[in-house]
Structure formats: C-alpha cells, structure tokens
C-alpha cells in the first residue's frame, strides 16, 4: 500500500484557494445574483421568490412545524409568544433511511414518503384528529413558488432520487397525505426553504438580519430583496446558491460531479456541503493510497480525524493497512481533511460576501447578523474561524460588523412564523 507523495502535493496545491480566488468568486457570485434577478440565461442562480418578507417579532400562536430536508424528518408544535419569544413542544424526529426502509431512493413510492411525513406531523399533535392546526412546512429543496402555500419542486438535490415528485405541488401532496392518514384537521398553510426558515427565525430576534444560510448536508443561502420585481412585492429570495457554477473545478471535483445523482447540477454545493466533503475525501484517499475500493468516509469521520488522533487512527485503521498508518501519514491525512474543509469554508464566505455586496449596492456593507444553521457550520472543526477569516480577506474591515448567529431550531421556528404570516398576513 504505497502513499503517492507527488500526488499529495498536487492535491494540496489544488485545494488551496487564495485571497484572489475567493475575492473574484465573491464578485462573480454578485454578478450571477444580479443577472439572476433579471432572469438572465447567463446566471447559474435561479433566484426563487419565497412570497414572504421579514417578521416583526410580534407573530403569535401555536403551529405545527414540519421539517423535511435530507436525512431526517422532524415535526414539532411551536408556540410563538410574540416579543421575539417562542417555545418548541412535542419534538418528533425520524430518519428517512434505516436498515428496514429507505424513503429517498429511486425505488421509493412518493405516496409512502408523504404518508411518512403526515404520520410524523400527526405524532407531533399527539394523534389528535379533531382540533384544527395550521402547519408550516420547511422543505429544503429548490421550488418554484406561486404563493406562500404553493410550491413545485424543481429538482431534488442532496442525492435524493424519489420519482414522481419533481414538478409536483408539494403542499398538495402533503395535504392529500394528511387526509389519507386521517389528519385533515392539520392544514398546511405555508411552505418555505430551510434558508428562509433560518432567516425568519433569526430576524424574529435580531431585526437587522438580512441573510439566511444553511451549511449542512446541503449548502444554500437566501436574503431579503427589497427591490421589488415588476408585479411582485419585496420578499425573501432563495438563491439556491449551491447551484452557482462559475468556480473553476479541479479534476477531482469533476470526477465527483460525474459520479453523482445529477451530474452538472449543484456545482458549488458539491465543493462545500457535508454530503460531498466526505465523498471527496474518500476519493482522494483511494487515489493517494491506491486502494482497491473507494472508502465511504463522511464529514463526521473527517471531523473525528481532524479533532481526535486516537479516533482518527481507528477510523483510518479500517481502510488502511498497518504500515500505511504511521504517524507521518496520519498527519498528512489530517491535513488533507483540513484542506478540504478550509476550501469549503472560504468558498461559502465568498458567496456570503457577494450577497452582502449586492445588499450594500454602492454603499458600505452595514453591520448585521447573518443567520446560519447546519451541522457543518456548527460542528466541523476549522469551519467557523475560516469563514470569518475569509470574510476579512475579501471585505477587509467591513467584515468586522458581521455577526454570524447559529440559529437553534431555525427550521421549526421559521416554519411556525411562516404559518403565522400565512394565516394573519
Ligand atoms: C440543497 C437544496 C436547497 C437547500 C440546501 C440546504 O442545496 O437544493 O434548497 O436549502 O440543500 O438544505
């Protein structure tokens, strides 16, 4: 089991993104954003209106929040108390894939998936079939919205492959499933992207928040657009920033894309999000050690390798032979995991900077909170400090006024706020 030193050097060089690279990336992102707003065919950002604006913190009431985003489904009852206060009650969470079932594969019957969502929403209300509940649904995929409760799925992302859902009205599918399961008393009144939910949740407490970002299994960002498009009020725009395609990929990014469910799509997401970081790491380890099989290490494994020598060695011990696992290779593998992670953080920062520049127009970037949610941002070592450092690299001192806030329960609070806005306007 040989370790290819020359290849290691090449990979590490390819993964290092300079200040110039991210500054240009931020400019290109802003360009695409602004072209996308004008529906230009040259933009890679779909810029999807959400039909909802920022909350004022006074929204009140009890709502069912459903969150379907990739690996787990969650439902809860959220009590909004006004004055920026809330409580989350009856939290229910289930995985979409277990040893017994898989609800995200190309073999999955879409009705089974939606029945599963309906059952979990039902559990959150303790199987009450009578009392009327209004439900907000955080649906973490790109949708074409016609209203706050009308959203068609454009394309799945994050390797979900359930047939028969793309192009369909998601609220409709959920409503039918709720009725099939005897929960006609739960009315889905709002559907929103998880980035939008994070922004609503943060803005409920910090009114200066304009940007919401998810940095998790997938990657995406939304922001409050104040310049109304013709015929549409000012509203939050889901950029689907994972779709940004103007970054120059290296040959491993290209190989990863080619082997994915949807080649050619979600190019930025495939360089930065949790679903793909482990994939890239595994591909590179296979080449570096000339392994017969590609290992299946995840972003969680990468975190362990970066954080904890003993656990890292145990994880790598399962795929590498003993002699390949000397202290020297362990250190190199740790640096490889770091390089992949830091590149991700710097590219994410570039997409935020491009958005901030758009919001600022010809003025200075104003001090503000930025809402962020997601496992990669929250748990992966080196991410938060490298996002911050990259913001300084790109924007200089103006970065000092930016306060990223990790939104707790963003998907649930945001869904409840959207349901409140949908019912009271
Ligand atoms: C994917 C989805 C997007 C979502 C993001 C984070 O990029 O397309 O809608 O916001 O994942 O969950």
127-186 pLDDT, tens digit per residue, is: 999 999 999 999 999 999 999 999 999 999 888 999 999 999 999 999 999 999 999 999
Residues 211 and 358 in one domain: yes
Residues 9 and 126 in one domain: no
Residue 71: what pLDDT?
A: 82
Residues 93 and 242 in one domain: no
Residues 376 and 281 in one domain: yes
Residues 297 and 238 in one domain: yes
For ligand 1, atom 3: residue with the closest CA: 141
Residue 425: what pLDDT?
A: 63
Out of 169, 192, 215, a domain closes at 192
256 pLDDT higher than 90: yes
Residues 111 and 233 in one domain: no
Helices (H), 190-273: 194-205, 251-258, 269-272
Segment 283-303, tens digit of pLDDT: 999 999 999 999 999 999 999
386 pLDDT higher than 60: yes
Number of domains observed in the structure of the chain: 2
- Region 259-273: what's the mean pLDDT? 96
3-state secondary structure of 58: coil
3-state secondary structure of 194: helix
Minimum mean pLDDT range among 239-253, 353-367, 411-425: 411-425
- Ligand 1 centre to CA of 194 (Å) is 7
For ligand 1, atom 8: residue with the closest CA: 141
Task: Determine if ligand 1 sits within 6 Å of the CB of residue 69.
Answer: yes
Residue 241 CA, closest ligand 1 atom number: 7
Residues 155 and 72 in one domain: yes
Assigned domain for 362 exists: yes
C-alpha–C-alpha distance, residues 304 and 418, integer Å: 37
3-state secondary structure of 297: coil
Segment 293-352, tens digit of pLDDT: 999 999 999 999 999 989 999 999 999 887 777 778 899 999 999 999 999 999 999 999
Residue 81 maps to which CATH number?
A: 3.30.420.40
Assigned domain for 266 exists: yes
Task: Determine if ligand 1 sits within 6 Å of the CB of residue 242.
Answer: yes
Residues 38 and 144 in one domain: no
Assigned domain for 421 exists: no
Residues 35 and 122 in one domain: no
Assigned domain for 150 exists: yes
Helix, strand, coil percentages, rounded to 5, for the chain: 45, 20, 35
Residue 336 maps to which CATH number?
A: 3.40.367.20
Residue 214 CA, closest ligand 1 atom number: 6
For ligand 1, atom 2: residue with the closest CA: 141
- Ligand 1 centre to CA of 290 (Å) is 34
Out of 142, 158, 192, a domain closes at 192
Residue 3: what pLDDT?
A: 86
For ligand 1, atom 11: residue with the closest CA: 218
Residue 328: what pLDDT?
A: 85
Assigned domain for 75 exists: yes
Segment 105-127, tens digit of pLDDT: 999 999 999 999 999 999 999 99
Angle between helices 170-180 and 110-124 (to 10 degrees): 70
Average pLDDT, the chain: 95
- Ligand 1 centre to CA of 376 (Å) is 14
Residues 279 and 304 in one domain: yes
Residues 218 and 357 in one domain: yes
- Ligand 1 centre to CA of 198 (Å) is 12
Assigned domain for 317 exists: yes
Task: Determine if ligand 1 sits within 6 Å of the CB of residue 218.
Answer: yes
Q: In what helix (H) or strand (E) does residue 336 lie, and over which residues does it extend?
A: helix 327-360
Mutate which of 74, 142, 160 to test ligand 1's pocket (most atoms within 8 Å of Cβ)? 142
Residue 335: what pLDDT?
A: 97
Task: Determine if ligand 1 sits within 6 Å of the CB of residue 410.
Answer: no
Assigned domain for 350 exists: yes
Percent of the chain with pLDDT over 70: 98
Residue 86: beta bridge partners?
A: 80
Residue 158: what pLDDT?
A: 84
Percent of the chain with pLDDT over 90: 90
- Show the domain range for 357: 5-47+206-406
Residue 322: what pLDDT?
A: 79
Residue 298's closest CA among 243, 216, 371?
216
Task: Determine if ligand 1 sits within 6 Å of the CB of residue 158.
Answer: yes
249 pLDDT higher than 90: yes
Angle subtended at Cα 244 by Cα 241 and Cα 247, rounded to the nearest 5 degrees:
135
Q: What is the band of 371 on the pLDDT scale with cuts at 50, 70, 90?
A: very high
C-alpha–C-alpha distance, residues 381 and 305, integer Å: 10
Mutate which of 154, 220, 237, 351 to test ligand 1's pocket (most atoms within 8 Å of Cβ)? 220
Segment 24-38, tens digit of pLDDT: 999 999 999 999 999
Residue 1: what pLDDT?
A: 66
Out of 192, 225, 246, a domain closes at 192
Assigned domain for 411 exists: no
Residues 141 and 14 in one domain: no
Segment 43-85, tens digit of pLDDT: 999 999 999 999 998 999 999 999 998 789 999 999 999 988 9
Residue 121: what pLDDT?
A: 98
């Amino acid at each position: 089991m040989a370790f290819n030193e020359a290849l290691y050097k090449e990979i590490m060089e390819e993964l290092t993104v300079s200040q110039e690279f991210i500054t240009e990336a931020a400019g290109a992102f802003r360009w695409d954003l602004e072209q996308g707003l004008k529906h230009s065919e040259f933009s890679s950002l779909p810029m999807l209106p959400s039909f909802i604006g920022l909350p004022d913190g006074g929204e009140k009431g009890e709502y069912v929040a459903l969150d379907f985003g990739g690996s787990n489904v969650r439902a809860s009852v959220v009590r909004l108390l006004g004055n920026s206060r809330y409580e989350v009650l009856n939290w229910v969470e289930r995985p979409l894939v277990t040893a017994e079932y898989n609800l995200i594969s190309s073999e999955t019957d879409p009705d089974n998936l939606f029945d599963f969502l309906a059952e979990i929403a039902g559990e959150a209300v303790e199987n009450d079939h009578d009392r009327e509940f209004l439900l907000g649904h955080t649906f973490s995929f790109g949708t074409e919205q016609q209203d706050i409760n009308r959203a068609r799925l454009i394309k799945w992302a994050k390797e979900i492959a359930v047939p028969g859902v793309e192009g369909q009205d998601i609220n409709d599918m959920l409503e039918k499933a709720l009725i099939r399961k005897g929960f006609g008393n739960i009315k889905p009144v709002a559907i929103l992207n998880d980035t939008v939910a994070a922004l609503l949740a943060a803005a409920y407490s910090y009114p200066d928040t304009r940007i919401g970002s998810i940095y998790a299994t997938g990657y995406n960002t939304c922001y409050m657009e104040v310049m109304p498009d013709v015929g549409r009020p000012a509203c939050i725009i889901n950029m689907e920033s994972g779709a940004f395609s103007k970054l120059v990929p290296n040959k491993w990014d290209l190989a990863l894309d080619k082997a994915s469910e949807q080649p050619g799509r979600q190019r930025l997401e495939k360089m930065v999000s949790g679903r793909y970081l482990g994939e890239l790491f595994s591909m590179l380890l296979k080449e570096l050690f000339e392994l017969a099989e590609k290992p299946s290490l995840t972003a969680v494994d990468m975190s362990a390798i970066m954080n904890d020598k003993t656990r890292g060695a145990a994880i790598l011990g399962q795929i590498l032979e003993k002699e390949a696992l000397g202290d020297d290779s362990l250190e190199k593998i740790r640096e490889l995991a770091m390089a992949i992670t830091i590149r991700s953080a710097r590219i994410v920062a570039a997409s935020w900077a491009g958005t901030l520049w758009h919001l600022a127009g010809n003025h200075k970037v104003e001090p503000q909170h930025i809402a962020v949610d997601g496992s990669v941002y929250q748990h992966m070592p080196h991410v938060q400090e490298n996002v911050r450092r990259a913001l300084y690299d790109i924007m200089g001192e103006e970065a000092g006024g930016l306060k990223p806030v990790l939104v707790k329960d963003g998907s649930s609070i945001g869904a409840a706020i959207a349901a409140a806005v949908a019912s009271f306007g």
